[in-house]
Amino acid sequence: MENSIIFNITINASAEKVWDTITNPDKIEQYMFGSRCESAWVPGAKANYFIKQGDKDVTVVKGEVIRSEPHKLLEHTIFPAGSEIEDILENYIVIIYELEEQDGSTELTITQKGYNYVANGKVRYIETQKGWKAVLPKLKEVAEQ
């Protein structure tokens, strides 16, 4: 098992639109299994993904922003909330979105790393691959609208 997973996708939209797609809760909800993330997207801000269950917001993924350069780079941690994994920093994965615009399209590179060091790393590695294979086409579709 590798420590990192890297996905690349070309999106026929500006980096500004792709950035909006990965940071706007209304758009996130359209491709990220119905979850939303409302964050300031600045270093130190919480980046918690939640779903609505009745009148409650249930956090499904917890995280915190590490770096943010609008339209270029977003890096934050992720942790499966409500799991049996101990909620300590050592069990958080890092996700990095890198955006590079060329000729009206944007190359989006998503890197998730830390699998060799976190609890249940192999299972999380496999689940991440499956999840992004479902999410990436939808993310592309939302960004290109």
pLDDT tens per residue across span 108-123: 999 999 999 999 999 9
| pLDDT at residue 1, rounded to an integer | 75
| pLDDT at residue 71, rounded to an integer | 98
| pLDDT at residue 99, rounded to an integer | 98
| pLDDT at residue 133, rounded to an integer | 95
Q: What's the pLDDT tens digit per position in 11-56?
A: 999 999 999 999 999 999 999 999 999 999 999 999 999 999 999 9
Q: What's the pLDDT tens digit per position in 81-111?
A: 989 999 999 999 999 999 999 999 999 999 9
Helix (H) or strand (E) holding 50, with range, is: strand 49-53
Q: Domain residue spans in the chain? A: 4-144
The pTM score is: 0.95
* Per-residue pLDDT at 61 exceeds 80: yes
Protein fold of 4-144: Alpha-D-Glucose-1,6-Bisphosphate; Chain A, domain 4 (3.30.530)
Asked if 17 contacts 134 with a C-beta cutoff of 8 angstroms, the reply is no
A 10 A CB-CB count for 25 gives 14
A 10 A CB-CB count for 108 gives 24
* 75/71 Cα distance (integer angstroms): 12
**Band (79; pLDDT cuts 50, 70, 90):** very high
